[in-house]
Structure 1
Amino acid sequence: MRTDQPKMIYLKDYQAPDYLIDETHLTFELFDDHSLVHTQLVMRRNPERGAGLPPLVLDGQALELLSVSLGDVQLQPADYQLDDSHLTLQPTAENFTVDTSVRIHPETNTALEGLYKSGGMFCTQCEAEGFRKITYYLDRPDVMSRFTTTLSAAKQAYPILLSNGNPVASGPEGEDRHWATWEDPFKKPAYLFALVAGDLWCVEDTFTTQSAREVALRIYVEPENIDKCQHAMDSLKKSMRWDEQAYGREYDLDIFMIVAVNDFNMGAMENKGLNIFNSSAVLARAETATDAAHQRVEAIVAHEYFHNWSGNRVTCRDWFQLSLKEGFTVFRDAGFSADMNSATVKRIQDVAYLRTHQFAEDAGPMAHAVRPDSFIEISNFYTLTVYEKGSEVVGMLHTLLGADGFRRGSDLYFERHDGQAVTCDDFIKAMEDANGADLTQFKRWYSQAGTPRLAVSEAYDAAQGEYRLTFRQSCPPTPDNGEKLPLVIPVELGLLNAQGGEIPLRLQGEASASGTSRVLSVTEAEQTFTFVDVREQPLPSLLRGFSAPVRLSFPYDRDQLMFLMQHDSDGFNRWDAGQQLSVQVLQELIGQHQRGEALVFDPRLATALRTLLEDASLDQAMVAEMLSLPSEAYLAEISEVADVEAIHAAREFARQQLAEQLFEPLWARYTANREVSKVTPYVAEAEHFARRALQNIALSYLMLTGKAEVVAATLDQYEHCDNMTERLTALAVLVNSPFEAERAQVLAEFAERFKANPLVMDQWFSVQAASGLPGGLERVKALMQHPAFTLKNPNKVRALIGAFAGQNLINFHAADGSGYRFLADLVIELNALNPQIASRQLSPLTRWRKYDSARQALMKGELERILASGKLSADVFEVVSKSLA
């Protein structure tokens, strides 16, 4: 841990490395109480850095140096400089080798960076800067090398020895040990290195590429999980085929491997040829994983596989360019998931998440550009801005250039930069060159932080048949800067007539209409577009498909929003109109609560939702999404000052009113879908997901009525289902109900049934942690004493602590500040165990300016207490210090 103030790193200070590493030869001797790492680096002076031989500064942390040689000469301590972070040598020739041997301790590595043990398995996580905890190296993404890795371990405890690339040799070593050598033919930076050793079983399959090469596919898991891998394998094969068809990208090695690890800070890691996954992102079976978990596994498997090109074959020059690989790959995996499931529902879910969480990040103390200008700890910048907003930026390019133009650009990008470490500017340049486009102004999306606001006004001239839309763009100041230049904002739109039909669109100056939906490029601070031949007052459908990540405002009234819900041809905008209507209704209720008035529910929302429920022709997944009210977190985010009690009371009142007013159609939909579920075996496909989604959201409303038939149906669903989606929903609605006996019964039964399954127990923790019933903090503290919980496992922390602080606003934001003290205590404790996880739990406290003055003082006080606790990691120090600035 650091005791001094960590140093800020700036993009403007980037310099190419003085030396390059052509070959990396690694030998690992793995033992239960330590490991030895022997490294040979074949190096040369970087010709781009000019003449001379400056000192060679290798990165290294928590390493015990045993020996170091330069060429054939073993160096003595007087021949090199060694400190906590670096080993410095003086080369004497432009081409040379460096050999080191170090001792490390994976068995005590609770930070889960570098080489560590998860249960009885050795595994690695090297992104972003974990390789320096394995051996001395130039641990930066623009140093790419060919790796050869040999592993040696006890054969009985670690029969499986894996690394990147292709296996080239193996054999026994003495009586009880063995070794294996792997060779990766492709250059890669150190962050893509991977190693796994353990007692693992595997599921095997093959994939034949478009050029008729056969690739071996293997998913390695601990023996008890061997029956939960087929969905991931199916997802992998779908991903490989999709990437060939959509992007022309073929896999390049003889083998592709995935390993499931229980202790992992992230979702998964795209190490070349050997992807290491959090077990929650691999293991899926109907009885133990929900539909959402199945979809998450499919998406993450695709994401990591797609990285083989967008991240591995072409990687980022420095960590400021992180979105070059992550934003692009999120866009790619979203396209895959849209094709595998409902494209509209996928878009709805992505945008709902972005608006609730990434927009909050943009408005908070950690706001940063998609390509940040500076950071203290890079692990803090694996953010929604880099990933999700980065994906939206790539999506805008797709919208502006069209599908064919975007494909030309991506083809050129991969062809031009294969085997290179490049920048976001290189990506944009490929898009420009492939399409003859000028994207100079568009690049501001990469350098300006904050969520743009787009205010739209209208004017209609009936006599001239002209309809004008005026767009005004702005962006609030962010901690990095206050001056915001106009962006390129693609706005897809349509115009609806009084019957809900689409009006042909012709802009002033155009010879003829060009369809009924089109994209306008808003490039100025204020810009007006005039449509001609408009023979009646239209209703605009704006930002279709959420064509840009902006806060849009247009003065729709509630009747107009109901009309769009019923008639808009764009599925996303139908949902969004419903969300806007819900927000207006909920904000009215919030105001009534704050004024001490009786709550009065606008019946138009129930009327609109009734229409959807009674329309059997609609996609059931879409109906389920439209029935979902905006979350308390979203309502807090769009509030000037978030009134936690008023938001909770208003939303619960609205849910109760909808449950009572829509009981009949909800009950009809629930019973019809439940009957189908009873006789239909579980299938992880979109149509089945949709049926269960509508069935389960209907049940969550119905339980609010407390009717005996609903309680009986809920217990029946819990007891007599063949899948976790139905069982967990039944558990959740009972946990959030006033029926204490039934709640206690199912909680106990669930824990007993699934006590041997850690991932299912995580869901049991989360359901209770997120419950808005009184006593939330006491429940969480009690659950922390449960034998299935440990602070050392990131999944457990996220499931219990993260769910409480991030989803249970009414309990976390208790007026006495107890929730804040609880979280601060845990962050201080986690800081010593796992700094990455500690810093990520801080997010709810960083938004202290969003709340009333009393809560502000309490939250700020806890941040100050964390800062004063001493020995903060760079991860936690950066978040806390920026939050208090």
Structure 2
Amino acid sequence: MREGTAPLIRREDYSAPAFWIKSVDLTFDLDPAKTLVINKMQLERNLDVPAQALRLHGEDLNLTRVLVNGESVSFRHEEGLLVIDSLQGVPAGPFTLEIRNTCAPEKNTHLSGLYTSGGGFFTQCEAEGFRRITYFLDRPDVMAVYTVTLRANKQQYPVLLSNGNLVEQGELDNGRHFAKWNDPFPKPSYLFALVAADLVAREQWVTTRSGKNHLLQVYVRRGDLDKTEHAMNSLIASVVWDEARFKLPLDLERFMIVAVGDFNMGAMENKGLNIFNTKYVLANPATATDSDYLGIESVVGHEYFHNWTGNRITCRDWFQLSLKEGLTVFRDQEFSMDMAGSASARAVKRIDDVRTLRLSQFPEDAGPMAHPVRPDSYVEINNFYTATVYDKGAEVVRMMQTLVGRDGFAHGMTLYFERHDGSAVTCDEFAQAIADANPQSELARLLPQFKRWYSQAGTPRVTARGRYDAPSRTYTLLLEQSCGSTPGQAEKQPFVIPIAMGLVARDGRALALQLEDEALPASGAYPQERVLVLSENREFFTFVNVDEEPVPSLLRGFSAPVTLADGLSDNDLLLLLQHDTDPFNRWEAGQRLALARLLAAVRGDGDLQLDQPFIGAMRGVLTHPTLDAAFKELLLSPPSEIYIAEQLESVDPQRVHAAREAMRMQLAQALRDDWAVAFEANQATGGYAPDPISVGKRGLANLALNMLCLDAVARGDTVWPGRAYQRFKDASNMTDRQGALWALLASHSELAEPALARFYELFKGEPLVIDKWFTLQATAPESGGRVFARVKALMNHPDFTIKNPNRARSLIAAVCMGNPAAFHRSDAAGYVFWADRVLELDGINPQLAARMARVMDRWSRLAEPYRSAAREAVSRVAAKPDLSSDVREIVTRALADA
């Protein structure tokens, strides 16, 4: 459907369906050019709504037959709907509707619905892909029990999979075979899946706490089986964790994961049959980095956890998307932190999650696509699979846990499932269950106000000011909140903001926190950390028996998705960097010190000169005897160019790039000897393992090598680049090999070219590794336009295809989204490149094109000459007459943000 005919969908207009579909019997005769779909449904009128015609969704289908109770009926087509008027007066009770249609999977470049990839059949039905398979009430509140029969050529498609349990399989005439699957749990159509392909599987039986045995299977193309061990281990860990943490068991006889090379998303939680992008399944030490291993663990966990938070209880409508996605992101974050083990490793995971939020969601909240966690309207639902729905939604759930406690949250989850298992519900019903399970909590007391997190867009700003009174030994903290206007929401009411905090003495001691008029706790001691709940625009909190003026440590663990302005001085931040017991705030102090220096250079004359206190603090981190290596790497990595730009009202990307590169160079030079020691001290010995300690050592060693090469190339020294090239050749794992290659690229070493050529020859048969090869080149620090020129040349490389989402993201998205200095050019060539690619992709895969279009959300904040050129590029895309609704919604809102 094109934007010209696509209506604006409003949450307030929701109405229940006129019919319910109780069961579905689907038969597929699979053929790439023309697949026959026989769809037999048992329907009932919804007696709670006025009688009306049956309207079924359908898109790009060839309809051949419509039967009601075995008899042909008349029908008509109306704006993408199949309308059967004769059912308006159908009596109460069930009736059978049979629809026969065909579709053309091999022509489906949208990768939504039923499509082909690598000689096999795959599906992606969320959000509205099922209507591209057959006519249906394609909405999440219509839940049915499915029986699916697949028929196909046995030699070409020996594996036939669908949701649920395998009930029958056998041979057919002419070299064909069949498999019949039944899913006993009612589900919406977006959770339907089928796979027919030539695949092999890693299998593992597991026994759950109830004593039931379940078969776990990970299906991949032949030749990739050796890359599935980590995915299987992650799946087993997910099953064990969910049953231990939330008492949620695996509920089917088997659980299947299938990897496919053409996929718009990361993965999909179809009931019992999860379909994954190969990126989040395939890994061995030679081809996958530590980051890949962690990503696989996280995504496997995420999709498995959806079995309960998304499948057993699903969304009433797509406005409630965060009901499943925000909650499940929170669950996968908790899972990954628990898998990390140590307090430091947990902190590293939390910091990574917050960095992701700040780099993607905070800009979204400040741009034309700003929307609440529960949106109020949309034109294209695919555009609302956003960082706000997912990552900010997860932070909203985390705040609930903060307000009721870990055990209280688990009790709330139990109540949620007792009330709503098997239903399609709303975000309100989830929040109510958590509050009702904890009636004495601050969440229960403030629930109507807390739910503003679901209805109000924007990132709240918390301003904090402390005043110490020596005579009375009191410290009074003033907290104020505000939130700027966002599209469609000019005025904001106060949020409920939990602020975890502590007070730190000048000698680094953590101080006891006794609020005014507070009785001594049963423990006999006042805590050294507590949560203040800010629910008004302005509130005072007074602490007593404070013997000296403290430094406040606020928003510990990033306890709320807000920005904080606390007015701390450099000396205060240096104190927190050295002594704060909260790892997140310790990292945050270092980032704020670096950011202040970067912003001063960008806003001033552009000349950055690092001062000795800052360099000394960074040296103290690098040489600290007890800090974990992974934590050191985070502390020593300057804020990204994207994050720096978000702090500016008018952005000159080239000035930002120059300032950050100057900081890297000065840290490389000033700490040269310390980097060398760190490199040697953090060599992970023995066989490869993606455990937190080894990952941290590899990360810090590779950062050190990067800095050493940067310094060496600047001085004309060839020793460290030579060592990096040798490390690249000898590396026993992809993390170290890629780390060495990046050190050469980022330092502009002449050895980068032979290393790139060698890398390609080694891995030209590994698609995911070649994706890395493209991305490394597209994200290398720009120097004289060479990176952008290389990207344009790589568009013609034999291994590049814009039709594969992973490959398109590896090059086009990498340079447009991940390399501001290469993309934002004064000659506007980057914007011309972006517009050309978005228009090209829109004719192939509108979902992917819309993701690429989001690059220009924040064009209006660019300084000249970038701003005018960017607007021209966005306008050119918007002017295309037959632009998809996916892309038109994005660019129209971007242009309105001028």
Shorter chain as denominator, the TM-score bin is over 0.9
For residues 407 and 636 of structure 1, what CA distance do their matches in structure 2 show? 39
- State the match for 1:386 in structure 2: 389
> Is the counterpart of residue 2 in structure 1 residue 10 in structure 2?
no
> Is the counterpart of residue 475 in structure 1 residue 480 in structure 2?
no
> Is the counterpart of residue 361 in structure 1 residue 373 in structure 2?
no
Runs of 4+ in 1 over 4 A off after TM superposition: none
Is the contact between residue 592 and residue 599 of structure 1 (CA under 8 Å) also seen in structure 2? no
For residues 232 and 700 of structure 1, what CA distance do their matches in structure 2 show? 30
- State the match for 1:759 in structure 2: 768
Alpha-carbon offset, residue 5 of structure 1: 5.0
For residues 711 and 719 of structure 1, what CA distance do their matches in structure 2 show? 12
- State the match for 1:500 in structure 2: 508
Alpha-carbon offset, residue 874 of structure 1: 0.9
- State the match for 2:814 in structure 1: 803
For residues 884 and 738 of structure 1, what CA distance do their matches in structure 2 show? 37
**Distance change >3 Å, CA 3–CA 273, structure 1 → 2:** closer
> Is the counterpart of residue 567 in structure 1 residue 579 in structure 2?
yes
Q: Please, which moves more after superposition, 862-871 or 130-139?
A: 862-871
1:787-826 equivalent positions in 2, closer than 5 A: 787-826=798-837
Alpha-carbon offset, residue 602 of structure 1: 1.7
Is the contact between residue 593 and residue 650 of structure 1 (CA under 8 Å) also seen in structure 2? no
Is the contact between residue 459 and residue 562 of structure 2 (CA under 8 Å) also seen in structure 1? yes
> Is the counterpart of residue 693 in structure 1 residue 699 in structure 2?
yes
Which runs of 5 or more residues in structure 2 are unaligned?
none
- The one-letter code sitting in structure 1 at the alignment partner of 2:817 is G
- The one-letter code sitting in structure 2 at the alignment partner of 1:261 is V
- The one-letter code sitting in structure 2 at the alignment partner of 1:711 is P
Q: Which of residues 425, 443, 448 is equivalent to 1:440?
A: 448
For residues 708 and 282 of structure 2, what CA distance do their matches in structure 1 show? 32
Alpha-carbon offset, residue 649 of structure 1: 1.0
Deviations 1:699-744 (A, max 9, x none): 111111123331122012101111100001111121222322x111
- State the match for 1:840 in structure 2: 851
Alpha-carbon offset, residue 401 of structure 1: 0.6
- State the match for 1:165 in structure 2: 164
- State the match for 1:769 in structure 2: 778
Q: Which of residues 728, 733, 737 is equivalent to 1:718?
A: 728
- State the match for 1:298 in structure 2: 297
- The one-letter code sitting in structure 1 at the alignment partner of 2:80 is S
- State the match for 1:48 in structure 2: 48
Question: Secondary structure of 1:509's match?
Answer: coil
**Distance change >3 Å, CA 450–CA 641, structure 1 → 2:** same
Alpha-carbon offset, residue 419 of structure 1: 0.2
> Is the counterpart of residue 148 in structure 1 residue 154 in structure 2?
no
For residues 127 and 446 of structure 1, what CA distance do their matches in structure 2 show? 22
Question: Secondary structure of 1:124's match?
Answer: strand
For residues 819 and 551 of structure 2, what CA distance do their matches in structure 1 show? 38
- State the match for 2:673 in structure 1: 664
- The one-letter code sitting in structure 1 at the alignment partner of 2:737 is R
- State the match for 2:492 in structure 1: 484
Question: Secondary structure of 1:441's match?
Answer: helix
Deviations 1:231-257 (A, max 9, x none): 000000011101111111101000000
Is the contact between residue 27 and residue 151 of structure 1 (CA under 8 Å) also seen in structure 2? yes
TM-score, L = length of structure 1: 0.98
Alpha-carbon offset, residue 218 of structure 1: 0.4
- State the match for 1:229 in structure 2: 228
Question: Secondary structure of 1:467's match?
Answer: strand
Q: Which of residues 79, 83, 86 is equivalent to 2:81?
A: 86
For residues 642 and 604 of structure 1, what CA distance do their matches in structure 2 show? 28
> Percent same amino acid at aligned positions?
48
Is the contact between residue 38 and residue 99 of structure 1 (CA under 8 Å) also seen in structure 2? yes
- The one-letter code sitting in structure 2 at the alignment partner of 1:535 is D
For residues 258 and 609 of structure 2, what CA distance do their matches in structure 1 show? 54
TM-score, L = length of structure 2: 0.96
Question: Secondary structure of 1:61's match?
Answer: coil
For residues 392 and 32 of structure 1, what CA distance do their matches in structure 2 show? 43
Deviations 1:119-177 (A, max 9, x none): 11100000000000000000000000000000000000000000000000011110310
Deviations 1:523-582 (A, max 9, x none): 000111111111100000000000000010011111211110110000010000000011
For residues 253 and 350 of structure 1, what CA distance do their matches in structure 2 show? 31
Is the contact between residue 32 and residue 116 of structure 2 (CA under 8 Å) also seen in structure 1? no
- State the match for 2:318 in structure 1: 319
1:454-465 equivalent positions in 2, closer than 5 A: 454-465=462-473
For residues 864 and 464 of structure 2, what CA distance do their matches in structure 1 show? 33
- State the match for 1:64 in structure 2: 62
- State the match for 2:457 in structure 1: 449
Is the contact between residue 772 and residue 810 of structure 1 (CA under 8 Å) also seen in structure 2? yes
- State the match for 1:578 in structure 2: 590
For residues 592 and 870 of structure 1, what CA distance do their matches in structure 2 show? 44
Q: Which of residues 726, 733, 737 is equivalent to 2:743?
A: 733
Alpha-carbon offset, residue 84 of structure 1: 5.4
- The one-letter code sitting in structure 2 at the alignment partner of 1:556 is L
> Is the counterpart of residue 682 in structure 1 residue 693 in structure 2?
no
- State the match for 2:333 in structure 1: 334
- State the match for 2:528 in structure 1: 516
**Distance change >3 Å, CA 489–CA 785, structure 1 → 2:** same
For residues 188 and 335 of structure 2, what CA distance do their matches in structure 1 show? 27
- State the match for 1:15 in structure 2: 15
- The one-letter code sitting in structure 1 at the alignment partner of 2:300 is V
Is the contact between residue 262 and residue 277 of structure 2 (CA under 8 Å) also seen in structure 1? yes
- State the match for 1:627 in structure 2: 636
- The one-letter code sitting in structure 2 at the alignment partner of 1:183 is N
For residues 639 and 271 of structure 2, what CA distance do their matches in structure 1 show? 40
Alpha-carbon offset, residue 35 of structure 1: 0.4
- State the match for 1:346 in structure 2: 349
For residues 827 and 871 of structure 1, what CA distance do their matches in structure 2 show? 13
Question: Secondary structure of 1:186's match?
Answer: strand
Is the contact between residue 746 and residue 781 of structure 2 (CA under 8 Å) also seen in structure 1? yes
- The one-letter code sitting in structure 2 at the alignment partner of 1:547 is S
- State the match for 1:279 in structure 2: 278
Is the contact between residue 62 and residue 84 of structure 1 (CA under 8 Å) also seen in structure 2? no
Alpha-carbon offset, residue 511 of structure 1: 1.7
Question: Secondary structure of 1:184's match?
Answer: strand
- The one-letter code sitting in structure 1 at the alignment partner of 2:693 is E
Deviations 1:630-681 (A, max 9, x none): 000000011111121211111111111101111111110101223xx3x411
**Distance change >3 Å, CA 652–CA 786, structure 1 → 2:** same
Is the contact between residue 608 and residue 663 of structure 2 (CA under 8 Å) also seen in structure 1? no
Question: Secondary structure of 1:796's match?
Answer: helix
Is the contact between residue 585 and residue 602 of structure 1 (CA under 8 Å) also seen in structure 2? no
Alpha-carbon offset, residue 3 of structure 1: 6.3
Alpha-carbon offset, residue 776 of structure 1: 2.2
Question: Secondary structure of 2:448's match?
Answer: coil
1:540-551 equivalent positions in 2, closer than 5 A: 540-551=552-563
For residues 80 and 738 of structure 1, what CA distance do their matches in structure 2 show? 66
- State the match for 1:873 in structure 2: 884
- State the match for 1:613 in structure 2: 622
Alpha-carbon offset, residue 49 of structure 1: 2.1
Is the contact between residue 589 and residue 601 of structure 1 (CA under 8 Å) also seen in structure 2? no
- The one-letter code sitting in structure 2 at the alignment partner of 1:296 is G
Deviations 1:34-58 (A, max 9, x none): 10100001000113325xx310000
- State the match for 1:745 in structure 2: 754
Alpha-carbon offset, residue 853 of structure 1: 3.6
Question: Secondary structure of 2:149's match?
Answer: strand
Which runs of 5 or more residues in structure 1 are unaligned?
none
